[in-house]
Amino acid sequence: MQNQEQKIAKQAVLKLAIVAGVPGIGLVFGVGLLIFLGVQWLILGKKSVLLKNADLPWEVSWDGETILQVFVVGFFLVGQIIVPLGLEIFKSFTNLQSAMMEVRVQAGYILGTYVLFALGGFLVLYLSLKSFFPFSEGWFKFDLRGDWFFWGLGGYFVALPMVILISLINQQLWQGQGGSNPILPIALNGQDGLALALFFITASIAAPVFEEVMFRGFLLPSLTKYMPIWGAIIASGFLFAIAHLNISEVLPLAVLGIILGLVYTRSRNLLSSILLHSLWNSGTLLSLYVLGSGNS
């Protein structure tokens, strides 16, 4: 019994070391990168990396009504009413409700729900903007060339210390009563390889692509019709946080959204913010996997 307890204790220490150590290394690097960028900005001013493309505008042909239409209909109506209601009706006519106890079915259900949500949102986006085709240069840019990878990776390291700091402050404000990721209990209780792969596709591929197209590709540039670019970055960051419908996590998500906006406006390439978003979600999922391993 004592040997077994010692083995469990060693496994727990190893898990904590991995969960804390990997982000810890990134945290140190991120602080160093922040200092470097700050010093460069003070010395070079408008020629610094932080201010690259800072004043480069988008040509916005549509108005606020179109922006509201895309998000009210494409994001909230489709995502929060139509898709959930349709799936509930589908479950009532099948035996899916009883099968939801299986972790693979839950993982597939979550992925399927998100894909339907994203397709509905993209359809509304397309129908809302098709009368404005063709777009001027710079809209919805996916370009494998250029420095998008370094912007995405660098943005991830910069986000680590900033989001962690805001999260610590946020925990004090909410007295540890913040919400949790809906994948958390499933990931902790099940270590099925296929289920984890489905979770990864949802969190690290589907979500970053859809959310970056909607919030950075469409919303942020559209807001520049009514405010300066820095204002659009902040506004889109907070709207990104609010759209997650978790009031206790608005501050950390808003900081992440602002950093995503900075990375996108500086690189002018959606691949950069998608990479940052994917790295962030993948890190969270990896932590859940390490913590959950061996629970069964």
One digit per residue, the tens of pLDDT, for the chain of length 296 reads 555 545 444 444 445 445 455 567 888 889 999 999 999 999 998 889 999 998 888 999 999 999 999 999 988 888 888 888 888 887 777 766 655 557 778 888 889 999 999 999 999 999 999 999 999 888 999 999 889 999 999 999 999 999 988 988 888 887 655 555 555 556 555 566 788 888 889 999 999 999 999 999 999 999 999 999 999 999 999 999 999 888 888 999 999 999 999 999 999 999 999 999 999 998 877 776 665 555 54
What's the number of domains the chain is made of?
1
The verdict on residue 288 lying in a domain is yes
The verdict on residue 273 lying in a domain is yes
Dist CA 166 CA 169 (whole Å): 5
For residues 169 and 251, the answer to whether their CB atoms sit within 8 Å is yes
The verdict on residue 275 lying in a domain is yes
The verdict on residue 11 lying in a domain is no
The verdict on residue 36 lying in a domain is no
The verdict on residue 287 lying in a domain is yes
Q: Can you list the alpha helix ranges (DSSP code H) found in the chain?
A: 2-44, 64-71, 83-92, 96-99, 103-129, 148-174, 184-189, 193-201, 207-211, 220-223, 229-242, 250-267, 270-292
The verdict on residue 269 lying in a domain is yes
Q: Which residues contact 98 (CB under 8 A, 6 or more apart)?
A: none
Residue 278's domain comprises 63-129+148-292
The verdict on residue 7 lying in a domain is no
